[in-house]
Chains A and B, each alone.
Chain A
Amino acid sequence: MEILSLNQISPDQVILWQWGIIRITATLMYTWFIMALLVMGSWLVTRRLSSDVRTTRWQGVLEVVVSTIRNQIKEINPEDPGHYLAFIGSLFLFVGLSNVLLIVPGYVAPTSSLTTTAALAVCVFIAVPLYGITKQGILSYFKEYFQPTFIFFPFHVMGEVTRTLALAVRLFGNMMSHDKVIAILLAVTPLFFPIVMHALGLLIGLVQAYIFAILAMVYIASATQAHEEKTEK
């Protein structure tokens, strides 16, 4: 089943249902599908948690996932990872699941649309000053923008905007290019090579999800840690 043809570079162009100005695109449908999958899965598992020695199999899976994310956050930011776990963890799980599900036929990753990745990057763009201000206070956070002199203010702002853009285009470009490469390979050499590329695509998808989450964490850490280093000196 081919939902996305070769000359459509974004699943936004696939309109499944339209009523007036309200339209449901393939991106929207699969985004809600993944969110429903994540929420329902977590709800089903956490419904009966037990701290007993004998736990259910799925609780073990979820514990491994959560503790891995906590450890990764802790390696970047040595303080308590609990503050960042919800944000970074849901970014990673959403991007990772939507990339891994590519092996399901008829599925189009919502991350291969620029709108989804831009929305995720804007979330990071908003979260960085939020975490920074709650950690340092509003004055000392904005003082960072004028370091070392006030001439550097536009460069700091430009850096924030361009790294948000890079975050969005990186994920979109990787997933979209993977889609296109497989579509072209299917036309040229069917059967064997597309399977190998799909296997590579699983790796690429997980690495991209990891990078998205890690970069978000690095940006947050740079906003929250600048103050601590100064007080330690």
Chain B
Amino acid sequence: MDSLTFIAMASIITAGLTMAIGSIGPALGEGRATQQALSAIAQQPDERGSITRTLFVSLAMIESIAIYCFVISMILIFANPFWDHVITKG
């Protein structure tokens, strides 16, 4: 197997694995955060505004972890530096 095929195979498999494994943690985290916020709103409906605002900010911060994985997999597929290196060398 030449190196180009090997790099392509490794990149594609790693990109899939990155998304699959990397979205487990943020999904669990977002679920927990939303659950806590919902029960907090149920207990204190007056504080709904500030709870919702904090929830949105924290959700976006948790989600950014999944976004990092997405960026990595996008780089692996569309802008792979090793791929470009081998092509320019060959």
B61 within 8 A of A: yes
Report the stretch among A15-23, A58-66, A103-111, A207-215 that lies at the interface: A207-215
Total residue contacts A-B, CB cutoff 8 A: 43
Provided the pairs A208-B60, A211-B60 are in contact, do residues A173 and B67 lie with their beta carbons within 8 angstroms? yes
Nearest A-chain residue to B54, judged by Cβ: A214
B74 touches A211 (CB 8 A): no
Chain B residues with Cβ under 8 A from A74's Cβ? none
Assuming the A-B contacts A176-B74, A180-B74, are A170 and B60 also in contact, with contact meaning beta carbons closer than 8 angstroms in the complex? Answer: yes
A164 to B40, CA, bound (A): 31
Chain B contributes a number of interface residues (CB within 8 A of A) equal to: 14
Consensus secondary structure, chain A interface: helix
Chain B at the A interface: SS class: helix
Chain B residues 35-90 with CB under 8 Å of chain A are 56-57, 60-61, 63-64, 67-68, 70-71, 74-75, 78-79
Instruction: State whether A173 touches B57 (Cβ < 8 A).
Output: no
Q: Given the complex of chains A and B, what is the CA–CA distance between A9 and B73 in angstroms?
A: 11
B78 and A173 contact, CB distance less than 8 A: no
Cα distance A215–B56 in the bound complex, in angstroms: 12
Binding site for B on A (CB under 8 A): 7-9, 166, 169-170, 172-174, 176-177, 180, 207-208, 210-211, 214-215
Can you sample 9 A-B contacts with CB below 8 Å?
A7-B78, A9-B75, A173-B67, A173-B68, A174-B63, A177-B74, A180-B74, A207-B56, A214-B57
Which 8 A-B residue pairings sit nearest by Cβ, starting from the closest?
A173-B67, A170-B64, A173-B71, A211-B60, A9-B78, A7-B78, A177-B70, A9-B74
